[in-house]
Amino acid sequence: MRTSTRFLLSSLLALPLGVTAVHAQSAFSGLGQASTSAVGDVSSSLNYHVYVFTRGGTRYIQVNDASGAVRGAFAITAYKAVGLPIGSDASRLATPDEPLPPPAVTTGETVYSDTSTHVFVAPQPDGTMQINLMIGDCKNPAECSSHGP
Whether the pLDDT of residue 88 is over 50: the answer is yes
Q: What is the number of residues in the chain?
A: 149
The answer to which of 12-26, 52-66, 72-86 has the lowest mean pLDDT is: 12-26
Strand ranges (DSSP E) for the chain?
48-55, 58-65, 70-76, 81-83, 93-94, 109-113, 117-123, 129-135
Alpha-carbon distances of 4 from 8, 16, 18, 81, 84, rounded to whole Å: 6, 19, 20, 49, 45
Q: What's the pLDDT tens digit per position in 4-20?
A: 444 333 433 333 333 33
Q: Is the sign of the CA dihedral 116, 74, 93, 66 positive or negative?
A: negative
Burial 22-50 (b: 16+ CB within 10 A, else e): eeeeeeeebbeeeebeebeeebebeebbb
Q: Which band of pLDDT confidence, cut at 50, 70 and 90, is reported for residue 75?
A: very high
Cβ contact 76:117 at 8 Å: yes
CA distance 89 to 17: 37
Mean pLDDT, range 60-85, rounded to an integer: 95
Q: Is 9 helix (H, G, I), strand (E, B) or coil?
A: helix
**More confident: 1 or 48:** 48
Mean pLDDT, range 77-102, rounded to an integer: 94
Residue spans per domain, the chain: 48-144
Q: Is 14 helix (H, G, I), strand (E, B) or coil?
A: helix
Q: Given this model, what pLDDT does residue 21 score?
A: 33
Percent of the chain at pLDDT exceeding 90: 54
